[in-house]
Structures are given as structure tokens and as C-alpha cells.
Amino acid sequence: MKKYTLWVVGVLLIGVAVVIRLLHESPEDAHERMHAEEARAQAEIDALGSLPPEQQLPQLRKYLSLETPVAVRTAAVDGLARLGTPEAGALLREAMHDYASPVRVRVSMPPASIKSPRSKYSRKNFIRSSSSSFWRKKS
């Protein structure tokens, strides 16, 4: 009888725990939170376009850090390409060493869709001006 009572109490406790777990919804999903942060950062990068380049560079440098999601870093590369300053070019060259291939691919893409009246350089020229012998034209 004592053994039977322990089993019943154990099954009831497990049942109550399962019901509580099913009824309790977590306030937010970590995956959804990550996507919301990415969307917010990409909107901020787009909004930076109205600021002067001196104010845009520190923010874009922050978004290029390896702690940020890949989607945010690729959006930051687009923002840097729109700037067209030598400092932005240096950051683009640094982004060529990113561990995520989408970021490297975005840096190497032609800037056809990213034109800015301030930009007198293209991404291609930024990359080729690197000290790396890989990018130098062969004579």
C-alpha cells in the first residue's frame, strides 16, 4: 500500500509539472528576439544615411564587430559603401577578413545598387588599394 501511494503521488507531481509547463508561455522566444535586434540594427543603419560621414563611421564600426549577427554586418558593409570615404574603405578592407562568407561576399560585390552622390570611389577601388598583393593588377 505504501509503495502504491508513492507511485500515485509521483505520477500526480509529474502531471502537475507538465500542466504548469504547458500553460506557462515564455514571454519571448530567443530566436524572435534575435531577429528583432537584427531588424532594429538594419533600420538604424539605413537611418544613418542622413548623417554626415564623421557621425556614421563610429556606428558602422560598432555594427561590423564580430559580436553582431551576420545580417547586421552585411548591412553595415552596405552603409560603408554608401559613404565613399577613405576611412570607410579601410573598414571595408577589414571586413574582407570577416569569418562569415556573406560579409566577405557583400564587400566584394560591385556597388551598382549602392550609389551615393558623396561616393567618388567604388568598393572595388577600396579593395584594390589594399596593400595586399592579391588585389594588385598584374602588368
Instruction: Tell me the per-residue pLDDT of 8-40, one tens digit each, with 9 for 90 and over.
Output: 999 999 999 988 887 876 666 777 877 887 788
Nearest to 58 by CA among 87, 100, 17: 87
37: cell is: 535586434
Residue 46 φ/ψ region, left for φ over 0, alpha for ψ in the -120 to 50 degree band, beta for the rest? alpha
**pTM score, two decimals?**
0.58
C-alpha 37/C-alpha 39 separation (Å) is 5
| H or E element that contains 4 | helix 2-23
Report residues of the chain scoring pLDDT below 70. 25-28, 110-139
Query: Domain-by-domain residue ranges, the chain?
Result: 33-131
Query: Which pLDDT score, from 0 to 100, does residue 13 have?
Result: 92
